[in-house]
Amino acid sequence: MSLTLKELRCLSPTDLLSKTYQLTKNPSFLTRPEGYEILELIINAALLTSNNELANQCLARLTDRFPTSPRVKVLQGMTLEAQGKTLEALKFYEKCLEEDSTNIAIMKRKEAVFKSAGRTGDSIKLIISILDSFPTDSESWSELAELYISIDLMTQAAFCFEELIVLNPYSYSTFARYGEVVFLQGEYQDSLKAFLRSVELCNGYARGWYGVKMSISRLLDSKSESPEYFKLDLLATEQLLQLSKNADEEERIAIEKLVAKYYRNH
């Protein structure tokens, strides 16, 4: 195998297993500096492709070498999850947290189990406890926002995205997601500002331009007929049609439908 660790990380699970098949038959590769990191990638790929036998085989090697590693403990729990042993996985995570209550990776796996079981309230409580200890963890703020959206708590979700914007002020996708949430709250001026910031950061972001058109449409419907809105609406239409030229067929059709839906004769 000639691929580097960085290249392996870019492969799909199936391709990664195909490229590393011979390695799993030859334990000597673990003497390489990146050997155990490759083994970790193989375990994750095996779990994603339901190859539990391979995952268990590789996990045994990692456990023998790093019996107390927090990363190995996460993989042990994920293996239980993949085998459908949800309760056993939860008990395992709880035991790990008794040993180390600050293990954020284990806390996140426990939250993932709650989420998959439909225990949204428990997921939210756990994510909040994570943020109490790790207030700058962007992934947790994002997860909390999506959980609030799933139960229609848009004000709380908007707050989460505001925190994310503070942490990642140049994330165009976060501005667009925030714009969508405040749009659903009927705050069309705020949603327009968020979408405009999104496309300012990434001019080719179709989702941001979608939001610009939708926000302006609602503002015009409410008789806020500012000349500036008409200019922005025309700009958004031009940008979307330009983006559609390089899009795949499915996205091109979606763009054209949206432009037609919100078309206005200026």
Q: Which two tokens stand for residue 248?
A: 């795949």
Considering only the top CATH level, what class is 1-100+108-117? mainly alpha
Of 222, 223, 159, nearest to 186 (Cα)? 222
27's enclosing H/E stretch is none
Q: Please state the domain extents for the chain.
A: 1-100+108-117
To the nearest 10 degrees (0 to 180), the angle between helices 154-167 and 138-150 is 160
- Residue 43 pLDDT: 92
Question: Residue 22 — left, alpha, or beta (φ > 0 → left; ψ -120 to 50 → alpha)?
Answer: alpha
Three-state DSSP at 41 gives helix
pLDDT in tens, the chain (266 residues): 567 888 888 999 999 898 887 777 776 767 777 888 888 999 999 999 999 899 998 899 889 888 888 899 999 999 999 989 999 999 999 999 999 998 999 999 999 999 999 999 999 999 999 999 999 999 999 999 999 999 999 999 999 999 999 999 999 999 999 999 999 999 999 999 999 999 999 999 999 999 999 999 899 887 666 778 888 988 998 898 888 887 777 777 777 777 776 665 55
Cα–Cα distances (Å) from 45 to 73, 163, 221, in that order, read 17, 33, 50
Report how far apart the first and last C-alpha atoms of the chain are (Å, whole number). 60
- Residue 260 pLDDT: 72
